[in-house]
């Protein structure tokens, strides 16, 4: 029988290289699928909407190859990577009631709104359960204005492990660095890590001892609180078993962490931390929320003075402000691809086994009914996904169909993700994955 310490050592031995395939053969097979499938998936959601005019090449009205098309200015940084790109237009999220944001509904494919708890698990969490096991299966990072990231270093708006079970995003890179690399650091970072670790241990002990008298919903909420500290403490122990391995991937701490000139300094280092977690094999699913799933966000480091809600009232096409934001996103996507391309894996590279999903938590614009929900996919996962294409759908299939497709590529059978047959009669003209994106 495998005890906890044996499990930790076995997982540590395999970090970064098909981790756990001998211990978890069924999971490993599910992750690769019959046509390869992804070993890791990245979701990148920009708030305030994703206007299709900012990603569809001029003149393209029907589905076709991107080979001879010129990408629009906002995503021009992806031009050298067109053969890996699939632009999809015509999905919808009418049933998510997005308005200012669909919040958890953006990745859950169900109704979401401000203050409404998640109705079920989101697709990123579901993938984290079936992709090759890692020490931290799912990492969420959130980029916002500096005041918001400092005032609320963690926030939950996009990802969930189940009904009423939100997953928090990390927004303060100093805290995230301590969580991932505090155990292998020196000086003040190490001292802060040890102090926080001792505090979390004590909180978990006190919380476990004091929650026994509660009942019903209060006991359930308290149990989630206790579980959160248990998970943090367990992760710290797991990371400690692979300190030597992690030291090869820890980013260098510089003034952008402690003395950021703009919020984009923190955006950049948060991305670096996410990349390091992927490259080290610490996580297999990374969710990035630019604007953290709400209507806030700031990009003063790009020379943009407007922020938050006002940005959503600006038309995105041909708008120099939104061109800068989308170009910044595109450069982040390029950095993700280049970094993963630099790491050999199997007969290719990590990027060959990765799918990147770029969209918005708000469909096409801030005030929207979700009738059109553009998406860009990057990566073929050894031919599991079609690339180098633009696909125009008829607006009758929901974002749930996209998520069903991604899950299917990871070996998860099922024709509908988070959508009942009754709801599908009204909002889905088909069933199963999107044949237009799977090879």
User: Tens digits of per-residue pLDDT, 19-75?
Assistant: 333 222 333 333 343 346 899 999 999 999 999 999 999 999 999 999 999 999 999
pLDDT category at 251 given cuts 50, 70, 90 is very high
Q: Give the three-state DSSP class for 284.
A: coil
Q: Are 388 and 83 in contact (CB under 8 A)?
A: yes
pLDDT value for 381: 95
| Distance (Å, whole) CA 137 – CA 18 | 13
CA 95 to mean position of chain CA atoms? 22
DSSP state of 199: H
**Could you count the other beta carbons within 10 Å of the beta carbon of residue 62?**
7
pLDDT, position 22: 29
pLDDT at 235: 72
Grade residue 244 by pLDDT with cuts at 50, 70 and 90. Answer: confident
Domains and CATH numbers, the chain: 4-180+253-427 (3.40.720)
Nearest to 311 by CA among 294, 327, 328: 294
> What distance in Å separates the CA atoms of residue 282 and residue 148, rounded to the nearest whole number?
27
Structure confidence by residue, pLDDT tens digits, 320-342: 999 999 999 999 999 999 999 99
Place of tokens 């098309």: 69
Q: Which of 171-180, 240-249, 295-304 has the lowest mean pLDDT?
A: 240-249
Q: Tell me the pLDDT tens digit for each residue of 104-123.
A: 999 999 999 999 999 999 99
The C-alpha atoms of residue 295 and residue 235 are separated, in whole angstroms, by 31
| Cβ neighbours of residue 50 closer than 8 Å, sequence gap 6 or more | 358, 359, 360, 362, 363, 364, 373, 374, 375
Token look-up 């909420």 returns: 221
DSSP string computed for 356-409: EEEEETTTTSSSB--S---EEEE--TTTTB--SEEEEEEEEEEHHHHHHHHHHH
Contact 341, 25 (CB under 8 A): no
Determine contact, residues 408/355, Cβ cutoff 8 Å. no
User: Which residues lie across from 355 on neighbouring strands?
Assistant: 41
Closest CA to 50 of 437, 399, 428: 399
Strand partners, 89: 392
Instruction: State mean pLDDT over 186-195.
Output: 56
SS3 141: strand
Do 171 and 122 form a contact (C-beta atoms < 8 A)? no
């Amino acid at each position: 029988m495998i005890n906890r310490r044996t499990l930790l050592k076995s997982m540590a031995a395999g970090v970064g290289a098909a981790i756990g395939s001998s211990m978890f053969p069924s999971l490993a097979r599910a992750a690769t699928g019959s046509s390869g499938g992804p070993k890791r998936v990245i979701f990148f959601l920009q708030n305030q909407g994703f206007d299709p005019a900012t990603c569809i090449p001029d003149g393209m009205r029907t589905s076709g190859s991107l080979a001879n098309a010129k990408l629009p200015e906002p995503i021009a940084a992806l031009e050298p990577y067109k053969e890996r790109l699939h632009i999809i237009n015509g999905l919808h999220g009418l049933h998510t009631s997005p308005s200012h944001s669909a919040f958890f509904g953006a990745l859950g494919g169900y109704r979401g709104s401000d203050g409404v708890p998640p109705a079920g698990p989101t697709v990123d969490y579901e993938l984290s359960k079936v992709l090759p096991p890692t020490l931290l299966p799912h990492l969420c990072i959130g980029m916002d204005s500096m005041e918001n990231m400092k005032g609320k270093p963690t926030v939950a708006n996009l990802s969930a492990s189940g009904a009423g079970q939100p997953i928090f995003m990390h927004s303060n890179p100093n805290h995230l660095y301590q969580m991932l690399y505090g155990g292998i650091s020196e000086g003040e970072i190490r001292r802060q890590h040890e102090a926080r670790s001792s505090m979390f241990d004590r909180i978990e002990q006190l919380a476990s001892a004091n929650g026994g008298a509660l009942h019903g919903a209060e006991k359930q909420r308290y149990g989630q609180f206790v579980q959160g500290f248990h998970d943090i403490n367990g992760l710290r122990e797991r990371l400690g078993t692979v300190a030597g391995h992690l030291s090869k991937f820890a980013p260098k701490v510089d003034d952008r962490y402690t003395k950021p000139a703009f919020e984009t300094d923190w955006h950049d280092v948060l991305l670096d931390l996410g990349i390091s977690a992927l490259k080290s094999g610490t996580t297999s699913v990374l969710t990035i929320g630019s604007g953290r799933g709400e209507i806030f966000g700031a990009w003063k480091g790009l020379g943009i003075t407007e922020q938050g809600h006002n940005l959503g009232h600006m038309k995105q096409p041909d708008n120099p402000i939104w061109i800068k934001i989308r170009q910044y996103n595109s450069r982040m996507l390029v950095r993700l691809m280049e970094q993963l391309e630099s790491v050999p894996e199997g007969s290719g590279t990590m990027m060959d086994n990765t799918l990147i999903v770029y969209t918005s938590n708000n469909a096409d614009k801030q005030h929207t009914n979700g009738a059109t929900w553009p998406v860009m996919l990057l990566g073929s996962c050894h031919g599991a996904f079609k690339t180098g294409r633009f696909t125009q759908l008829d607006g009758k299939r929901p974002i749930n169909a996209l998520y069903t497709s991604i899950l299917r590529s990871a070996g998860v059978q099922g024709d509908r993700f988070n959508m009942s047959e009754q709801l599908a009669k009204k909002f889905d003209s088909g069933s199963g994955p999107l044949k237009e994106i799977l090879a």
